[in-house]
Structure 1
Amino acid sequence: MSNYAKVVIKGSPITKSNFKLHNMNGRAILPDSSGKYHDRYALYEQEIALIARSQNPDIIFSESLIALLKVYYKSEKRHPDTINITKSIFDGIEKSGLIVNDAQITKIFTEEYYDKENPRFELELFSESEYNFNYTVTKKAIPTQPKSYSPQKKTLLNNLSTNHSLVDNLKNKINAKPIDTCLREIDKASKCTVNNKAKLCNICSKLIISDDYIKADSGKTLICKKCFNKLF
């Protein structure tokens, strides 16, 4: 029985954490043949499954595992959250049959790197019965330049009445309409908020100014009916 396996998948890693739909019974669904952009999430899992199995043809882990994951993004400025990338990867690894269930991963260490010419991820799996996992955190003798992050635009959305960019978006949307129609549109949009945040479609990023939308991920994801209909 093998106690080690390594999987290398070339290409920019992606995450499906921001997109998931549920059917009428509440079951999660992930389109893979709609011909739309969002098929890529399911197709990425399938790619991982096929390559992982081809690189480790005779290995099936049934015990607890230690995972070391190195993710190489193409761009340092624009890439998925590394904390979310593991779900897509291990769902693909589970589909490959390399592991029985992703719950087997009891220890995981993830590192983020950048490689413009060769984006990829490298995953090493070790049987916990034969390997130990240790790490240390030490203080630098000479501090380096901090890598700072800015809040995402969506987290900065406040009430419509105090958000100028959203107001401008709405103005463009209802441009050339009579003033009384504009006022009704603005009043409707100001009421369409969730926890004082404007409702935006997670696919087209347009303002939702009615109750005609679909909720996913326990209400974290909103999809307007127009985008939802395009998926099927």
Structure 2
Amino acid sequence: MSCYYAKVVVKGSPISKSNFKLFNLSGRAILPYNSGKYHDRYALYEEEIAYATMCQNPNLILTESLIAILKVYYKSSKRHPDTNNITKSIFDGIEKSGLIINDAQIRRLYIEELYDKVNPRFELELYAESKYNISYKISGNETLLDPIEYTPPSNKVVKSPSNLPKDNLKNDHKKSCYICLKPLGENAGMSADNGNKFICEGCFKKLF
């Protein structure tokens, strides 16, 4: 019997895989399970997702390509993990449950970030592409909402014309080669180090 739909709801604040990585002596990222430390939380969360998925969808396996609708409810609109990273955590647990064969089955993914201070959770619906399609539209709000503004962390410097070195400004004709120190024209040379340095063509060729 073919299966075309499944829904999973897991209560609790979603967590991101990237926040719980440790590294072994060779520099390879690992996700500990029983270290007795804070980093175990991801592996345990993955197991929680797998268990909830199996309980809510017993003996169900989706084998074809899928459309995924994901609604993530955080406690706060101000402090929470990056929603784009949350998807990896969720689909790792879904795959472990056996509900799907592989997360590569997810060919279309739609994510919505929502907030519920009392009941944080995620709700995931999976639709088989052979049976379902999806469409969406963008429309203006009838009433203007209060914007949710984002600011960089205090330890991150935002580059702007006021704090960039003068020789890095595109319109500054006085920029010079980082290696030979010869002046460069407005569009001459190659940029390096995220645009913080410039290298003339001659020095660039010598590097290779």
Task: Give TM-score, length-normalised by structure 1.
Answer: 0.64
Match of 2:166 in 1: none
Root-mean-square deviation over aligned CA pairs = 2.2
Match of 1:112 in 2: 113
Conserved in 1, the CA contact under 8 Å of 2:152 and 2:158?
A: no
Deviation at 1:22, TM superposition (A): 4.3
Structure possessing the higher radius of gyration over alpha carbons: 2
- TM alignment of 1:60-79, pairs within 5 A: 60-79=61-80
Distance of aligned partners of 1:142 and 1:66 in 2 relative to their CA distance in 1, 3 Å threshold: same
Match of 2:33 in 1: 32
Match of 2:99 in 1: 98
Match of 1:153 in 2: 154
Distance of aligned partners of 1:26 and 1:57 in 2 relative to their CA distance in 1, 3 Å threshold: farther
Q: 2: CA distance between counterparts of 1:97 and 1:154?
A: 42
Instruction: Say which SS state the counterpart of residue 125 (structure 2) adopts.
Output: strand
Match of 1:228 in 2: none
Match of 2:184 in 1: none
- TM alignment of 1:121-136, pairs within 5 A: 121-136=122-137
Match of 1:7 in 2: 8
Match of 2:22 in 1: 21
The sequence identity of aligned pairs, in percent, is 64
Question: Which runs of 5 or more residues in structure 2 are unaligned?
Answer: 160-192, 195-208
Question: Which runs of 5 or more residues in structure 1 are unaligned?
Answer: 159-194, 197-232
Instruction: Say which SS state the counterpart of residue 18 (structure 1) adopts.
Output: helix
Tell me the amino acid that sits aligned with residue 46 of structure 2: E
Conserved in 1, the CA contact under 8 Å of 2:31 and 2:40?
A: yes
Tell me the amino acid that sits aligned with residue 103 of structure 2: D
Q: How many residues align?
A: 161
Distance of aligned partners of 1:59 and 1:43 in 2 relative to their CA distance in 1, 3 Å threshold: same
Instruction: Say which SS state the counterpart of residue 17 (structure 1) adopts.
Output: helix
Task: Give TM-score, length-normalised by structure 2.
Answer: 0.71
Q: 2: CA distance between counterparts of 1:36 and 1:74?
A: 24
Instruction: Say which SS state the counterpart of residue 156 (structure 2) adopts.
Output: helix
